[in-house]
Amino acid sequence: MKVPVIADMIAGGETPEILFWVGCSGSFDQRAQKITRAFAAILDKTGIKYAILGKEEACTGDPARRAGNEFLFQMMAYNNIQVLNNYGIKKIVTACPHCFNTLKNEYPELGGNYDVVHHTVFLQQLIDEGKIKLKEGGSFKGKRITYHDSCYLGRANNIYEAPRKVLEMLDAELVEMKRCRTKGLCCGAGGAQMFKEDEPGNKRINIERADEALGLHPSVIASACPFCNTMLTDGVKNREKENEVQVMDIAELIADSMA
Amino acid sequence: MNIAQVLFIALAGVAVWLFAKNIMRIRRNILLGRDEDFSDNKPLRWRNVLLLAFGQKKMFKNPLVAVMHFVIYAGFIIINAEVLEIFLDGILGTHRIFSQPLGFFYIWFINAFEFLAVGVITVCIIFLVRRNVLKLKRFLSKDLNGWPRSDANYILVSEIILMTLFLTMNAADTLPVHYAGDYVPYKFQFAFSSFLFPLLQGLDGSKLVIIELICWWLHITGIFVFLNYLPYSKHLHILLAFPNAYYARLTPQGKMKNMPDIQKEVLYAMQPELAPTGEAATAHHNAFGAKDVFDLSWRNLLDAYSCTECGRCTAACPANITGKALSPRLIIMKTRDRLEEVGKNIDANKEYKDDGKTLLHNYITEEELRACTTCNACVEECPVSISPLDTILQLRRYLIMEESNATPEWNSMFSNTENNFAPWKFSPDERDAWAG
């Protein structure tokens, strides 16, 4: 699979339909890279003309801004918007809810106006348009799956149904945690917590959430955010359940099930 | 005009004057905050007042509690129509002034009020049990130790007393006995207060008149006292929930407030040709982020006075659930406490005199602020449109940008982001290595 980089594409006289914003986790984190490759494979298979920024992509500034460092956020935003506007980007898809939220809600007033979609919404559209066909009796048929709501997708941007609709395609047994949708419990990574130790307390947030999910005895905990994925994977490992329970991104579940 | 009328008018006058004075004081305190524009999208704002404040939409996430809360609320609002009659009777020296013009409908109205009064008493008792006997975590919480816990109980008890006085007054006024003198009791009985007749049986007309009068005076005095208790209580939410719903934040919950001052500084650093020169270049700017109540916006301060300390935010907070020091409810309660302190300072000194204290550090600690995952659970839960997160993030901005007060891990994250364009220490050249 050849992943097109925008600079090459434009040099070749072509423009992409959509820019795939990979994000830092999807670019550098080994586990999250698998999610990135799965989503790129879906884009590739469905024949969508996409491109990535490649080495020109930089952190959106989300963790810096939420930690309180507005200067750093504004610098990152300024540079990213310059790059995106120079390439005349109109539409962006990303597999990271934090990048999604920043690009969609926080860049417009800084001069970056794009049509930004999260990959779960994008996947739902592809399924609705019949562009994604799944195998008969796919690998997840009949398996117990529970979906963990990402805060930056759910409460931050009111996206609750798209990921669930995509999961319904798998013919799996979908079960909900008690704390789901608007009441979904955070994985513990948001607000730049990913980059520091928990404050003193009696439990880690990711373990609290993993326990809730494990209580349902699922085969798969489905995530839609690379940070949630990391946190829940750690939580499952902490309870020594990694051999029975997989934490997988929705893009991976679809990529594995495509005909 | 008889002496009772004079007394009543004096009482009402003092109560309303005191209340107005307190409301103006609260308004002044709220306006100590920075400016923030909420003048957009009026139709949606009025819709929010209707749905969130009148309709209590968010309360209905828990339907049983919502219905009980609605009974107290409806009782409170509708019974105010009866207070109007009491008020007019007090001023004009009449007795049940609406009974004549309304005729038979009057009995229906009073029956409806009595029904609500019984409902309010029932629910207040249930709520007292919920707060004090059942071990509900958000009410047991140490957040409420001291005054806040008593405050909640005082309100419930006074509502029970007020409603009981109302029912006793009606019973004493309608018990069929022979009255001496020119007193004309009301000639019909009401649906609920008539159940109190056995308690009054055997009393003669003159005693009943006295009981009715005492209940009438205690009831209206109680209402005036209650009115003036509000500004000092969490119960102020019955008023401020309305403006707080009108000024609800309409942007997606994930969006953080922009800081145009910094946006400009970065722009001028990147494109110096755009930077202003001369006087404009040295224009005064506010501190970055918030250290004290003055640095928050008036909207955050309105939040502080609107909070009824129910603790739904804290019960949903992932940091609090896992034993961290952060409680979103306390963030809001401490903001109000500090604002009240600043208000008293201004009252005493004509203007604010530095007392060596600030909201940040003296009231809210770094540890609390750093525990927040910005998950928006607290914002989503709040039935009266408060955003604890907005306040938390402004305090965080001050910590980082004015005090350079970050954990070492956050400092590494900052420098990685700045130098490697990712929060981790990876080479930017490796960014597309996943594709290879």
| DSSP string for B282-331 | G---PPSS-SSGGGSBHHHHHHHHH-----HHHHH-HHHHTT-S--HHHH
d(CA A158, CA A143): 27
Looking at the fold, whether A222 and A113 belong to one and the same domain comes out as no
Q: Tell whether A65 lies on the interface with B, counting CB pairs under 8 A.
A: yes
CB-nearest partner of B324 from A26, A64, A201: A201
- Of B94 and A214, more confident: A214
Q: What HEC string does B211-270 produce?
A: HHHHHHHHHHHHHHHHHHHHHHCHHHHHHHHHHHHHCCCCCCCCCCCCCHHHHHHHHHHH
Residues whose CB falls within 8 Å of the CB of residue A8, separated by 6 or more in sequence, listed in order: none
Question: pTM here?
Answer: 0.95
d(CA B85, CA B80): 9
* Sign, Cα dihedral of B406, B254, B419, B435: positive
Nearest alpha carbon to residue B378 among B429, B436, B303, B428: B303
In the predicted structure, residue B177 carries a pLDDT above the cut 80: no
CB atoms B417 and A76 under 8 Å: yes
Whether ipTM > 0.90 holds is yes
- Residues B181-190 have pLDDT tens digits of 556 666 778 9
CB atoms A200 and B324 under 8 Å: yes
CB-nearest partner of B374 from A22, A54, A190: A190
- Of B362 and A136, more confident: B362
d(CA B86, CA B89): 5
- Of B282 and A36, more confident: A36
Determine how many CB atoms are found less than 10 A away from the CB of residue B393: 23
In the predicted structure, residue A141 carries a pLDDT above the cut 70: yes
d(CA A74, CA B258): 9
Where is mean pLDDT largest: A93-102, B100-109, B136-145?
A: A93-102
N-terminal to C-terminal alpha carbon distance within chain A: 17
Q: How far is CA B37 from CA A76, A178, B251, B273, B299, in A?
A: 26, 38, 13, 30, 9
Q: What's the pLDDT at B184?
A: 61
d(CA A134, CA A250): 14
Average pLDDT over residues B149-155: 95
Chain A residues within an 8 Å CB radius of B391? none
**Min CA distance, B124 vs chain A (Å)?**
28
Chain B residues within an 8 Å CB radius of A76? 417, 421
Phi-psi group of A201: left, alpha or beta (phi > 0 → left; psi -120 to 50 → alpha; rest → beta): beta
Determine how many CB atoms are found less than 10 A away from the CB of residue B284: 4
Residues whose CB falls within 8 Å of the CB of residue B278, separated by 6 or more in sequence, listed in order: none
Looking at the fold, whether A221 and A248 belong to one and the same domain comes out as yes
- Residues A184-201 have pLDDT tens digits of 999 999 999 999 999 999
The DSSP bridge partners found for residue A223 are A249
d(CA B111, CA B115): 6
Looking at the fold, whether A16 and A102 belong to one and the same domain comes out as yes
Strand order in the sheet with A91-94: A50-51, A18-21, A91-94, A115-118
Chain B residues within an 8 Å CB radius of A183? 316, 377, 380
CB atoms B251 and A105 under 8 Å: yes
Indicate whether A92 belongs to any domain: yes
Least confident of A84-88, B131-135, B263-267, B426-430: B131-135
**Number of structural domains in chain A:** 2
Looking at the fold, whether A58 and A161 belong to one and the same domain comes out as no
Interface size between A and B, measured as CB pairs under 8 A: 210
Looking at the fold, whether A77 and A138 belong to one and the same domain comes out as no
Indicate whether A1 belongs to any domain: no
- Of B22 and B207, more confident: B22
In the predicted structure, residue B178 carries a pLDDT above the cut 70: no
**How does DSSP assign A46-111, residue by residue?**
TT--EEB-GGG----SHHHHHHT-HHHHHHHHHHHHHHHHHTT--EEEES-HHHHHIIIIISGGGT
Question: Residue A214 is part of a domain; what is its CATH number?
Answer: 3.40.50
Q: What's the pLDDT at B202?
A: 83
The DSSP bridge partners found for residue A173 are A144
- Residues B232-281 have pLDDT tens digits of 999 999 999 999 999 999 999 999 999 999 999 999 999 999 988 876 66
Indicate whether A179 belongs to any domain: yes
Q: Tell whether A64 lies on the interface with B, counting CB pairs under 8 A.
A: yes
d(CA B45, CA B300): 17
Looking at the fold, whether A149 and A52 belong to one and the same domain comes out as no
With pLDDT > 90 as the criterion, what percentage of chain A qualifies?
Answer: 97
Contact A20, A39 (CB under 8 A): yes
Query: Which chain A residue is nearest to residue B265, measuring alpha carbons?
Result: A71
Q: What's the pLDDT at A173?
A: 96
CB atoms B401 and A151 under 8 Å: no
- Residues A147-190 have pLDDT tens digits of 999 999 999 999 999 999 999 999 999 999 999 999 999 999 99
CB atoms A68 and B289 under 8 Å: yes
Residue finishing a domain among A69, A91, A124: A124
**Coil, strand or helix at A144:** strand
- Residues B379-415 have pLDDT tens digits of 999 999 999 999 999 999 999 999 999 999 999 999 9
Residue finishing a domain among A124, A156, A176: A124
Average pLDDT over residues B358-368: 98
Indicate whether A141 belongs to any domain: yes
d(CA A141, CA A101): 32
CB atoms B322 and A205 under 8 Å: yes
**How does DSSP assign B392-414, residue by residue?**
HHHHHHHHHHTT----HHHHHHH
| Residues 185 through 244 of chain A touching chain B, CB cutoff 8 Å | 185-186, 188-205, 208-209
Q: Tell whether A129 lies on the interface with B, counting CB pairs under 8 A.
A: no
What amino acid occupies position B11?
Answer: L
Q: What's the pLDDT at B280?
A: 67
Domain definitions of chain B by residue range: 3-30+62-246, 260-429
d(CA A65, CA B408): 16
Computed over every residue of chain B, the mean pLDDT equals 93
Please tell me what DSSP assigns to residue B56. Answer: -
Average pLDDT over residues B424-436: 94
Chain B residues within an 8 Å CB radius of A109? 258
With pLDDT > 70 as the criterion, what percentage of chain A qualifies?
Answer: 100
Looking at the fold, whether A45 and A18 belong to one and the same domain comes out as yes
Looking at the fold, whether A12 and A62 belong to one and the same domain comes out as yes
Looking at the fold, whether A106 and A172 belong to one and the same domain comes out as no
- Residues B55-107 have pLDDT tens digits of 999 999 999 999 999 999 888 778 877 888 888 998 998 888 998 898 889 99
Q: What's the pLDDT at B208?
A: 87
User: Environment class of residue B395 by beta-carbon count within 10 Å: exposed (0-12), middle (13-18) or buried (19+)?
Assistant: buried
The DSSP bridge partners found for residue A115 are A91
Please tell me what DSSP assigns to residue A135. Answer: P
CB atoms B255 and A186 under 8 Å: no
User: Environment class of residue A154 by beta-carbon count within 10 Å: exposed (0-12), middle (13-18) or buried (19+)?
Assistant: buried
d(CA A107, CA A100): 10
Determine how many CB atoms are found less than 10 A away from the CB of residue A91: 14
Looking at the fold, whether A139 and A246 belong to one and the same domain comes out as yes
CB atoms B321 and A69 under 8 Å: no
Indicate whether A35 belongs to any domain: yes
Interstrand relation of A144-147 and A220-223 (parallel, antiparallel or unpaired): parallel
Parent domain of A238: 133-257
Indicate whether A50 belongs to any domain: yes
Indicate whether A119 belongs to any domain: yes
In the predicted structure, residue A43 carries a pLDDT above the cut 60: yes
